[in-house]
Amino acid sequence: MTNEKTCQSCGDAQCSAHAKQPGERDEEFMDRQALQSRMCKIKHKVLVLSGKGGVGKSTVAVNLATALAMAGKSVGILDVDIHGPSVPKLLHLENARIEGREDTLFPVKMTVGKGVLSVMSIGFLLRDRDDAVIWRGPRKHGVIKQFLKDVEWGELDYLIVDSPPGTGDEPLAVAQLIERADGAVVVTTPQEISVQDVRRCVAFCRQVELKVIGVVENMSGFTCPKCGELVSIFGADGGRTMAKEMGVPYLGAIPIEPAIVVSGDSGMPIVQAKPDSATAQAFAQIVRCLATNGVDRTG
């Protein structure tokens, strides 16, 4: 059943799209209502953040989304990583053509196990990567806003958002525009499990009133390709200790796994390509932890 609710008929007094904000122009108010009315059809919105690029944020986002879809949920993955949109490649959708009409873009739909994964990436819209590099701050904010506003997800159990890395203007725009998100999953690696990096992310979340669902320690230890044994290269439990120090939940660790690189290149996430592997099980554990940290899986 589709959700027929509109901002005009909705009685949710908590929603900021209910009324115009001081100083807001009519056009801005209408844009905000358009975004909110799309977002309020989504039960759970989870932002995936990282202090910097290259730590596996997109890999984690794609595997979490795929694992949830495999469990029978209706899931969307939104790739707003404006400088390095890698979701199309990770899902083998580099040549996908998206449908659109007027102010509406429709995500690409994939059947994954028992569920459906709807995919939208800012990479589908960039003619080439240099487009984003030459945009100045306000232009980037405008592009992110329009992109979020125009995507028609329909009803979803989960939207997993692969945010731009860092704690600057771009992730800030995403966090402010997606109001009433369940919270953020912060991805980091043992090398940079420096208190500063995660502290910056946690401070960022507090600034935008976004709950920290927890920290994922990626590339933690190495799974021997011969015997499958997990070797702790950077020492065990660093992530858990760090999360405790920061007062945020620890969701689990993903090892350095050569199969992740292979599955990234082939466009099939490891949770789907090798569901019985220790790494897929580690992702399953993180999905379970989402539930215990406030994101209701019964959705």
**Contact set with ligand ADP (CB under 6 A):** 50, 53-59, 84, 86, 218-219, 254, 256-257, 260-261, 264
Residue closer to ligand ADP, measured from CB, 39 or 117: 117
Residue closer to ligand ADP, measured from CB, 69 or 282: 282
Residue closer to ligand ADP, measured from CB, 19 or 261: 261
Residue closer to ligand ADP, measured from CB, 39 or 190: 190
Minimal distance, residue 258 CB to ligand ADP, in Å: 7
Minimal distance, residue 222 CB to ligand ADP, in Å: 9
Minimal distance, residue 61 CB to ligand ADP, in Å: 8
Minimal distance, residue 261 CB to ligand ADP, in Å: 4
Residue closer to ligand ADP, measured from CB, 36 or 188: 188
Minimal distance, residue 21 CB to ligand ADP, in Å: 33
Length of the chain: 299
Supply φ then ψ for residue 296, to 5 degrees: -75, 115
Residue closer to ligand ADP, measured from CB, 249 or 255: 255
CA distance 125 to 4: 29
Q: CA nearest 204: which of 224, 231, 174, 230?
A: 174
Minimal distance, residue 90 CB to ligand ADP, in Å: 7
Residue closer to ligand ADP, measured from CB, 87 or 295: 87
